[in-house]
Structure 1
Amino acid sequence: MNEPGLSVPLSEDNTMDDRAFIVFSVGPVQSFISAARTLRDLWTGSFLLAWLTRKAMEPIYSKHGAAAFIEPDMSRDPMSPQNLRKELRSPCLPNRFLAEVPANEAEALAQACRDAFDNAWQTIADNVRQALQTEIAKLKGDGAVEWESSVERLWNAQVDSFFDVRVSVVPRGAIPGDAVRSLLGERGESGGTWAHASAEDRLWTDQAELAARVHATHKVIRKVTRYSPTPDAQGMYPGKCSLLGTYEYLGPAELTKAAAFWQVLSGKNGVSIGGVRIRPGERLCAVSFVKRFAWPAYFVNELAVDPRKMRLEDLATVAAAEWLSHEPELSPQTVRDQHGVWSGEWLHWERPEQDEEEGACPPDVWKQIKKKRDNQGKAPAYYAVLMMDGDRMGKHLRAKPGREHPRTISKALMTFALNHAPKIVEDNHGVLVYCGGDDVLALLPTTKVISCARELNKAFREVWAREVLKGQPGDTATLSAGIAVVHYKEDLRFALETARQAEKHAKNNGRDLVAITVCRRSGEHTVALCPWPFLDILQGWISAFTPSQESPAGASDRWARHLYRDLPVLKGLPVDAMKAEIRRQVDRAEESTRKRLSPEAPKKAGAKIVEQLELFGSLWDQRSRSLPKAGATPGASAGRNGQLLENFLTLCQTASFLARRRDE
């Protein structure tokens, strides 16, 4: 499972410091978390990584307490079993930690951290394996013998080889201060806190950075996977896992037998542990089995929590969460309490018994769904994935020398993760999958994703100003965000990757930006960049386009579609002519649209949209590096204006799509 640890030997001629850094990390993160078809799989993957990392911290925590950890802040220990029993929350520990311990204990503690991770993972896997074997033994059908054989051959090999745990030990006295500075290079700080810092604080910060770089170098060395699966008696191997394609699924290798076996496992009377099941079409390896059944097979007993607390909605329900909350409210949990079952698929059926595999919708629930459709229109079929990540956090951590500054940042990030992010996401009818402080993953209804992103960004900046800058002028940390809007029937793995690419798009274009990708079922995908301050305008457009009692259809976006259609011509026009055409198209829209776009002055709606375009351009110049700046050469300026207009109109159409929740 693990690579050998990396340690820097203590220098014989420099033993004045008796402390050492331990840097721990585990991977792969993205492939483990995103190998998910359901929200439960996604959330459980994040929870498992946080739980296992917390277990790896235990040898240091139990001996030296929370103060030994520099990153993350452990003063509130959110993932301890004791705290989780009181309040089950979304995972909020990263898959990495930095601690400072006595040098003479460092090697033993590093090994203990590694062993604690391995033991915790093995314990969970063993519990899942035992629960599965008990359930499968109850089933009658061809393939049971092959299942047992494949478990014996493949289970341990897959579980033991999956995670890549890296631990680095760097004694502070290992390398003289001059050598440390030589390795890191000159910082170039001629003033500020660095110029007035003590030699001890400067050296500590340099040594901590060196430890981080040593660990990063360690991670560059590629893991050699020690996975050697054994074939069955006929020399055959099963096919690949439908979630984690790097491993073979368990069960019969021969295709006909495999199909029959997995059909039994995923059938109505198939494997069910605590109500968690295998979905039709799935064929799982050992690692995917552990992800799927870790909660009912292990955590429910380990944490003594009510299994009902661990119900996570299907994607169709996530998409319709706000729609369901409107009066008269239709609560999925209430339906479960009354009927023992709920499915978001029901919201999109034409009749209550449309899908035999999904099960019929109870008659009283079907009446409520029909009533809500009559009052509110169709249930939304699209949801949004929101990913946020801090910009240049390493630079912020090293901005001031000494032990306290990185600890201050760690505490601020934990404050955001525990006290702000969960409530903000919940208030916007979303599900928080993970918040590690400067990174967030959440799923939300399309109508709430922009407001949620705005509130998270605002809270992050306020926490930073209050706890890191402490009200003094300074460098404010920023976030980049990616939003993917997808249909609930799309593969969740596709949705996650689309959001991840959107986040990268925001970072690659200057950071401190939001990138929004809309993936329509028609096949048309659009991507638009938006500076954070402009989200206020975007939210205003969403409100204007949203149907209401006063305006059942909402504002029309016909003007934006006409302008987008004419983009090839508009891009070649002088900027004044471009703006004149925008005013003309908006001002010729129906009065109800102009009132929604510009309530204070409907007759000047066109001028208002032009002002918003000018504001967008100004904000773009401050944030993005992808376009020429205003005032460049005439040709470059024309290209800039055309690209600005295209991005601006894409945002307009995105707002319309988010507001109307179209099902194409």
Structure 2
Amino acid sequence: MKTILHWQIASPAGVQGWIQGSRRIRDFWASSFLTSWLSACAMKALMDGGYGEIVFPAVEEDPLWLAMHGRRHDGKEGPPHWFVGTLPNRFKAVLSDPSAFGPNGDDPCSKAVREHWQKLAEAVWQTFVEPAAPCGAGTWDIWHRQITGFWDINWVLGKDPKDGSDGAWLDRRKNWRAHLPSTEEPGDHCRMLGDFQELSGWVRAKGQASDQDKFWQAVRKQVREVVNPDAGDDTFELLEIRNTERLSAPALVKRLFPCLPADQLRKVLGWVPQGLQEHHGRIPGDLPAKVRFWPSTAYMAAVPWMLAAWDAVPDACKTFQQACRSKLHVPSVAEHDSHVASFRNLGSKDAKEFGLLDGSFFFDDMLHTEARNLDREAESLAQTDPDRARKLRERSRKVEEIRGELARLREAYRRRVEPNLQPRQAKSLTASPFYALLVMDGDAIGKLLSKVAGAGSERAVSEALRRFTGQVKRIVEEERDGTLVYAGGDDVKAFLPLPTAIPCAIALRQAYLDAMKNVAGKLDEPPTISAGLVFAHYHVPLSTVIRKARDLLDKVAKEGNGRNSIAVSVEKPSGTMAEYVTSFLPEKKRTPEKCKKSPIDHMQKLARAYARDIERSTSFLYNMKDRYEHVLDIFGNDRERLEKVMLAEWVKGKKGRTKGDEDRIDELLDVCMTTTGNGKAVFRLAGGLIARFLADNGVGTLDARYRSPVPAGDGA
């Protein structure tokens, strides 16, 4: 009888806790990548040592697995460049040598994780932290304590029951916690992983703030020398560690390992994710790899407007780009390597350079805040460091000049496109501050695997999930201008420009269903997938957005609405503006042309209608909520009655109703008449609010593959 192994890795706070501590998109990617890579290291150790074979997931053609073996995922010659985590944090294997798995981490998989994690942490320590350690108070002791035993590894092995019941072994094992966290850590705590002490060892409450600041200044200086030693201007705030960030050892590994010189990354990982960075006059291996560069949330928000502006007024965009690079050279290349396909695919070098500008350059409030902060810092240093204060004031002046350049670019764009816009579309004359975070996860995948394992079809499901994963990058990045953070098994995490987020979720769901089609016949219920989608203002902390997206997925779409659902929210700095959920199932008893479409399929259409039609006002939606809330509760699943009530409110004060009025209410109900996972109809007025929000932020104006609403011009 076969011996089965179920294995899993997580941080002390769990995988989601490790991920949700992220403060930047690169942190989010690094969390997922490191977990996926360490899981792959465990699988590789098991297979290379001849201890067994992996049953789930299917690893043979996985791009991360291929990269670890020196092969490209696209079959081309040359070194691998893959950089997205694609393997889950757990696996199932059939063991040929069960005796190799002893207690207390005495097994090849746990040893491989410890060795690779320690090797990566050591590279970060030696490159960035060790030169600053003399400025700390017991920094090495803190580092060693936090890095050693950081990962929580659980595994269970036993004889194959041949009925799929082994799928529950690992969940039972997790209830028996053997990974005991250390006692509460002393001192000031990490800004990213709040349960851990920050690395300097100094405590601000004890009057040691200056010592703590001195340590982190030394770390930032070392990071600056590694990532950009040729920069003549040291007044810009280092993106890798901001002045207010004080991090723990695990958080620092997560934050800084992408900044290791490419040659060191190759030694630790086995390949260079995203490939070498091009730089005249320096050896590429001495520089951080391209994987250092990830877009900001402000950049993802600005992308639709940037593309539309380039299409409409390319000369004005070129002038703006040249001004940014001449006045603020280092920050202007913060994005440096655009993940946005539309910019990469533009033939013009000037267009690509424009696409590499920092996202903050397109928002006047961010530039104003930057200039104000520089002036304040200059004032505080006027007596103690007058030379630096002078440099800071000069930099503030240049930032203000960029504000003027942005105003001129906006004006050129306005003159070009405004004559072709409806009044509501004019809100898109400046970049929207909202971007989208999409998370998706297969429904009840554990139960599904247990069922097919009992039927001997587990391998078929693994292959189906691999086919789905293989399509995700194309759908997210090449077709929707998104930035893929993770795509492993049935799990997807991606950042997207606001106009393409809902179409991307719909396309990914269809790809999942298509990939699982061959195994659907072996199941009692067809496989489904759910999604959480957050439209967030760039001022909302990313950790808050990540938690919200996960809650939407787990608590609203899956638990609350019965799976096979998508939950959507709009998050402003003041809080949640609207929250909406519907299943991907169509509303029952609809006309034949609409019976195959779910409410979310109609969302973009309604948003475009709001953009074109000034008569569709938000006040109507709020009036319905305030005046008829009790009626909406009573008629919540009766479309015909709701339509009559809403039409009566809509035509109030008008001379009768028209076919256009009926169409407007019908289109609104197509979105607001949502469905649960079992097909039950539920009226949710928030759908109209979200459609109006989308219209105000580019849908209906910038969503036709980001083409400008007028033919491309010369900026005149």
Task: Name the TM-score class by shorter chain.
Answer: 0.7 to 0.9
Structure 2 gap segments, 5+ residues each:
73-78, 229-238, 277-288, 312-316, 333-357, 375-394, 418-427, 585-597, 699-716
Deviation sequence 1:432-486 (CA, Å, 0-9, x none): 1111121111122222211111111111111111x4348x997421011112222
RMSD: 3.6
**Amino acid paired to 2:331:** V
**Structure 2 counterpart of 1:5:** none
Distance 2:118 2:259 in 1: 16
Distance 1:216 1:352 in 2: 49
Q: 1:209 is matched with which residue: 153, 165, 190?
A: 165
Which moves more between the two structures, 272-281 or 510-519? 272-281
Distance 2:210 2:474 in 1: 42
Distance 1:581 1:517 in 2: 26
Which moves more between the two structures, 601-610 or 98-107? 601-610
**Structure 2 counterpart of 1:653:** 689
Q: Percent identity?
A: 22
Q: 1:542 is matched with which residue: 583, 607, 610?
A: 607
1:526 maps to 2:578: yes
TM-score normalized by the length of structure 2: 0.71
Using the TM superposition, give the Cα deviation of residue 298 of structure 1 relative to its aligned residue in structure 2, in angstroms. Answer: 6.5
1:158 maps to 2:146: yes
**Structure 1 counterpart of 2:175:** 220
| Structure 1 counterpart SS, 2:194 | coil
The count of aligned residue pairs is 562
Q: 2:446 is matched with which residue: 386, 390, 394?
A: 394
- Label 1:444 to 1:590 Cα distance change in 2 as closer, same or farther (>3 A): farther
Which moves more between the two structures, 402-411 or 386-395? 402-411
Using the TM superposition, give the Cα deviation of residue 612 of structure 1 relative to its aligned residue in structure 2, in angstroms. Answer: 2.7
Deviation sequence 1:181-230 (CA, Å, 0-9, x none): xxxxxxxxxxxxxxxxxxxxxxx3x2x532x3333222111244353689
Using the TM superposition, give the Cα deviation of residue 73 of structure 1 relative to its aligned residue in structure 2, in angstroms. Answer: 0.5
Q: Is the 8 A contact 1:23 1:98 kept in 2?
A: yes
Using the TM superposition, give the Cα deviation of residue 74 of structure 1 relative to its aligned residue in structure 2, in angstroms. Answer: 0.7
**Structure 1 counterpart of 2:6:** 23
Using the TM superposition, give the Cα deviation of residue 34 of structure 1 relative to its aligned residue in structure 2, in angstroms. Answer: 1.6
The residue correspondences of 1:84-163 to structure 2 (distance < 5 A) are 85-103=79-97, 106-107=100-101, 111-133=107-129, 136=132, 145-147=134-136, 149-163=137-151
Deviation sequence 1:81-137 (CA, Å, 0-9, x none): 32464232421110001111214565379811110010000000000011123553x
Q: 1:412 is matched with which residue: 464, 470, 475?
A: 464
1:274 maps to 2:259: no
- Label 1:573 to 1:469 Cα distance change in 2 as closer, same or farther (>3 A): closer
Structure 1 gap segments, 5+ residues each:
1-16, 137-143, 173-179, 181-203, 231-236, 596-600, 630-643
**Structure 1 counterpart of 2:37:** 51
| Structure 1 counterpart SS, 2:154 | strand
Which moves more between the two structures, 255-264 or 528-537? 255-264
- Label 1:161 to 1:524 Cα distance change in 2 as closer, same or farther (>3 A): same
Distance 1:581 1:544 in 2: 21
Q: Is the 8 A contact 1:422 1:432 kept in 2?
A: no
**Structure 1 counterpart of 2:302:** 320
Which moves more between the two structures, 488-497 or 306-315? 306-315
- Label 1:270 to 1:87 Cα distance change in 2 as closer, same or farther (>3 A): closer
- Label 1:659 to 1:166 Cα distance change in 2 as closer, same or farther (>3 A): same
**Amino acid paired to 1:537:** H
**Structure 2 counterpart of 1:34:** 20
Q: Is the 8 A contact 1:265 1:271 kept in 2?
A: no
**Structure 1 counterpart of 2:513:** 461
Using the TM superposition, give the Cα deviation of residue 281 of structure 1 relative to its aligned residue in structure 2, in angstroms. Answer: 1.4
Distance 2:292 2:541 in 1: 22
Q: Is the 8 A contact 2:475 2:508 kept in 1?
A: no
Q: Is the 8 A contact 1:263 1:280 kept in 2?
A: no
**Structure 2 counterpart of 1:581:** 645
**Structure 2 counterpart of 1:608:** 666
Deviation sequence 1:420-441 (CA, Å, 0-9, x none): 3443344222211111121111
Distance 2:122 2:215 in 1: 23
Q: Is the 8 A contact 2:539 2:573 kept in 1?
A: no
Using the TM superposition, give the Cα deviation of residue 295 of structure 1 relative to its aligned residue in structure 2, in angstroms. Answer: 1.3
**Amino acid paired to 1:604:** E
**Amino acid paired to 1:257:** Q
Deviation sequence 1:257-307 (CA, Å, 0-9, x none): 335643773698574342562112111010111000111226663124222
Which moves more between the two structures, 421-430 or 566-575? 566-575
Q: Is the 8 A contact 1:239 1:249 kept in 2?
A: yes
Using the TM superposition, give the Cα deviation of residue 383 of structure 1 relative to its aligned residue in structure 2, in angstroms. Answer: 1.7
| Structure 2 counterpart SS, 1:493 | helix
| Structure 2 counterpart SS, 1:161 | coil
Q: 1:248 is matched with which residue: 197, 201, 209?
A: 197
Which moves more between the two structures, 85-94 or 294-303? 294-303
Q: Is the 8 A contact 2:296 2:359 kept in 1?
A: yes
Q: Is the 8 A contact 1:103 1:171 kept in 2?
A: no
Q: 2:208 is matched with which residue: 257, 260, 264?
A: 257
Q: 2:61 is matched with which residue: 57, 76, 83?
A: 76
The residue correspondences of 1:302-317 to structure 2 (distance < 5 A) are 302=266, 303-304=271-272, 305-306=275-276, 307-317=289-299
TM-score normalized by the length of structure 1: 0.76
Using the TM superposition, give the Cα deviation of residue 503 of structure 1 relative to its aligned residue in structure 2, in angstroms. Answer: 0.9
Distance 1:590 1:157 in 2: 73
Q: Is the 8 A contact 1:484 1:499 kept in 2?
A: yes
1:507 maps to 2:492: no
| Structure 2 counterpart SS, 1:419 | helix
**Structure 2 counterpart of 1:567:** 628
Deviation sequence 1:508-567 (CA, Å, 0-9, x none): 1211111112223344543221122211111211222236xxx6x695334223212323
Distance 2:172 2:53 in 1: 23
Deviation sequence 1:613-654 (CA, Å, 0-9, x none): 7x936x448346xxxx8xxxxxxxxxxxxxx33x1x111101
| Structure 1 counterpart SS, 2:199 | coil
Distance 2:47 2:198 in 1: 38
Distance 1:442 1:612 in 2: 27
Distance 1:659 1:51 in 2: 40
Distance 1:572 1:469 in 2: 37
- Label 1:244 to 1:545 Cα distance change in 2 as closer, same or farther (>3 A): same
- Label 1:229 to 1:41 Cα distance change in 2 as closer, same or farther (>3 A): same
**Amino acid paired to 1:290:** V
- Label 1:42 to 1:88 Cα distance change in 2 as closer, same or farther (>3 A): same
Which moves more between the two structures, 343-352 or 316-325? 343-352
Q: Is the 8 A contact 1:92 1:435 kept in 2?
A: yes
| Structure 2 counterpart SS, 1:50 | helix
Distance 1:428 1:621 in 2: 27
**Amino acid paired to 2:663:** A
Distance 2:22 2:607 in 1: 31
Distance 2:364 2:615 in 1: 26
Distance 2:322 2:172 in 1: 53
| Structure 2 counterpart SS, 1:399 | helix
**Amino acid paired to 1:145:** P
**Structure 2 counterpart of 1:189:** none
Which moves more between the two structures, 243-252 or 352-361? 352-361
The residue correspondences of 1:225-240 to structure 2 (distance < 5 A) are 225=180, 227=182, 237-240=186-189
Distance 1:48 1:154 in 2: 21
The residue correspondences of 1:440-455 to structure 2 (distance < 5 A) are 440-455=492-507
Which moves more between the two structures, 603-612 or 408-417? 603-612
**Amino acid paired to 1:209:** S
**Structure 1 counterpart of 2:250:** 287
1:378 maps to 2:430: yes
**Amino acid paired to 1:165:** I
**Structure 2 counterpart of 1:199:** none
- Label 1:252 to 1:489 Cα distance change in 2 as closer, same or farther (>3 A): same
Distance 2:5 2:321 in 1: 45
